Amino acid sequence: MRLLTILCLVLLSVHSYSQIFETFYDNGRLEMRGNHIDGVQDGIWETFYENGQLAQRGNYIDGERNGLWESFHENGQLEYRGNVIDGELDGLYESFHENGQLKMRGNVINGERDGVWEMFHRNGQLQGRGTHIDGERDGLSESFHDNGQLSRRGGYVDGEVDGLWEYFDEDGNLTKTETYRNGVNVQAHMWWNIAASSGH
């Protein structure tokens, strides 16, 4: 009898109670849906816009985000996607404009940007590119006009602007230079395109 009692207690202690959780908008459409195990979020969770479109989808393990997470614009286009480990982004992260064009792309390690990150205009042209190390900008950084021409170029050291920075107009003409040391602007020059200003 004692052995049977102990066995029953063990079975009860390992039993998990699973429950589907749902909330709804005033119009009756589903707002949120997911699974609870013993009162903790576990499994796939989804949220929806009031028009019924999927807004976000991802996985929980023991109350923490884990695995692929995706968010969507209200028109149904993917807004961002990234992998999560123990609640923090880890791996390739991508975000998108409402028209479906890639907006941003880069790698994350333990929640910090690491490596080359790129940003894009709505028309698909490269908007910016730079390197991060342990979450800090470091090295060459470039920005571009939506016609593809270089807009700005300079460097970072440990998250602060450093060295020569150059600025260009949409036609590719140099318009300004600045020199930085440890994040402080120590010298600036303005440039004028004489031919453009004279109308020739």
3 pLDDT more than 70: no
The pLDDT of 146-157, averaged and rounded, is 97
Q: Is residue 188 part of a domain?
A: no
Q: Is residue 99 part of a domain?
A: yes
pLDDT digits (tens, 9 = 90+) for 19-64: 999 999 999 999 999 999 988 999 999 999 999 999 999 999 999 9
pLDDT digits (tens, 9 = 90+) for 88-146: 999 999 999 999 999 999 999 999 999 999 999 999 999 999 999 999 999 999 999 99
Q: Is residue 176 part of a domain?
A: no
pLDDT on residue 109? 95
Average pLDDT taken over every residue of the chain: 88
Q: Give the chain's domain count.
A: 1
Q: Is residue 121 part of a domain?
A: no
If DSSP states are collapsed to H, E and C, what string results for the chain? CHHHHHHHHHHHHHCCCEEEEEEECCCCCEEEEEEEECCEECEEEEEECCCCCEEEEEEEECCEECEEEEEECCCCCEEEEEEEECCEEEEEEEEECCCCCEEEEEEEECCEECEEEEEECCCCCEEEEEEEECCEEEEEEEEECCCCCEEEEEEEECCEEEEEEEEECCCCCEEEEEEEECCEEEEEEECCCHHHHCCC
Q: Is residue 94 part of a domain?
A: yes
Expressed as residue numbers, the domain containing 62 is 16-113
* pTM for the whole structure: 0.82
Q: Is residue 104 part of a domain?
A: yes
187: confidence class by pLDDT, cuts 50, 70, 90? confident
Q: Is residue 27 part of a domain?
A: yes
pLDDT digits (tens, 9 = 90+) for 68-91: 999 999 999 999 999 999 999 999
Q: Is residue 90 part of a domain?
A: yes
16 pLDDT more than 80: no
The pLDDT of 169-192, averaged and rounded, is 89
CATH number of the domain bearing residue 29: 3.90.930.1
